[in-house]
Amino acid sequence: MTKLSQSFAVLGLGAALCATTYAADFTDDFSTYANGELEAVSNGAWVYNGNVPHAAGNKLSVANGAVNTSSIYYKAAGYNAASTADFLNGRVEASFTLDSITGGGGEIAITARDQGDKRIQLSMVASKVDPPAEYADDTTDWFNFTMYAYNTDIAYSWCDTMSRANDVYAGKTFSLFLDLDGENVTAGFVLDKSGDFGENWTVAEHIFTGTTAITDAGAAGIYANNWGAPTTQHLNAVMDEFKVTEVVPEPASLAMLGLGGLAMLRRRK
């Protein structure tokens, strides 16, 4: 290849990189939607994820400007944010307001890099447990909150155990986030327990790091799983906001790649 051909090849590489299209940042607080099934009322912003195992017709709904996670009547429902189909690196996060936990509990999650048959999934699971031996006479419901980062090497993590869960948690907020950078994963759960029960009830923050084998781009989304029959085993909450912030090379940096290549060619003369 001649030096001139090499020069055009380097320029072409720089131009191709600069022309690469990345998924736009995405934020949704659901406030503009009418009440109804999420995909139907979102004007294309959300797509029902048929790759997630569902019970027939199981759908999340929007009510009063928030996604109602207890609207699914049995098993799981998942949705992808349509504009995030090429998401690769950055942050996926969502915030929730808790209502109640019934029966055995349930699961709420955010997802990223959806490959169809697999995805990175950060789940908060509320599961009913027996009280500790020293509280054997306590007749209130006890629940564990446990965080799972599926398709990563982050071990599941116990986050909280609480009696009187529906008294303590009702109206409290929590958030989930995934920070992705190539194979590197940071997963976090933040629960705000401050308020009604005195100064000992504060913000609980759990953050863990690890890696993932899912390194290709894919959509980000949400997922909920209620384990029992209608109204019997649910983690009842509303999703207040979902946000995706992608980290990509700056256009100026990409352009410099082409210029740097030309400089290298000149030094070879």
Three-state SS at 85:
coil
DSSP string, 237-256: EEEEEEEEEE----HHHHHH
Residue 39 · residue 57 · CB < 8 Å: no
The residues with which 205 forms a beta bridge, in sequence order, are 190
Confidence of residue 95 (pLDDT cuts 50, 70, 90): very high
User: How do residues 34-45 score in pLDDT, each as one tens digit?
Assistant: 999 999 999 999
- Give the CA angle between residues 162, 156, 224 to the nearest 5°: 75
- In the chain, the amino acid numbered 88 is L
Averaged pLDDT, 130-154:
84
| Sign of the Cα pseudo-torsion (225, 231, 234, 235, in order) | positive
Q: What is the pLDDT of residue 157?
A: 82
Confidence of residue 58 (pLDDT cuts 50, 70, 90): confident
* pTM beyond cutoff 0.95: no
Residue 144 pLDDT grade (very low, low, confident, very high; cuts 50, 70, 90): confident
pLDDT tens across 155-213, in order?
A: 888 777 666 666 667 788 889 999 999 999 999 988 877 655 444 556 778 899 999 99
Of the listed ranges 24-28, 202-206, 215-219, the one predicted with least confidence: 202-206
Q: What is the model's pLDDT at position 143?
A: 78
Q: What percent of the chain has pLDDT over 90?
A: 38
User: What residues contact residue 239 under an 8 Å CB cut-off, 6+ apart?
Assistant: 30, 66, 67, 69, 94, 95, 96, 108, 222
Contact 185, 209 (CB under 8 A): yes
Where do we find the tokens 């976090």?
188
> In the chain, where are the structural domains located?
1-21+249-269, 23-247
Find out whether 19 and 83 touch, Cβ atoms under 8 Å.
Answer: no
Q: What is the pLDDT of residue 114?
A: 95
Note the helical H segments in the chain: 3-19, 38-41, 165-168, 251-268
Residue 86 has pLDDT above 80, yes or no: yes
Domain covering 23-247 in this structure, CATH number: 2.60.120.200
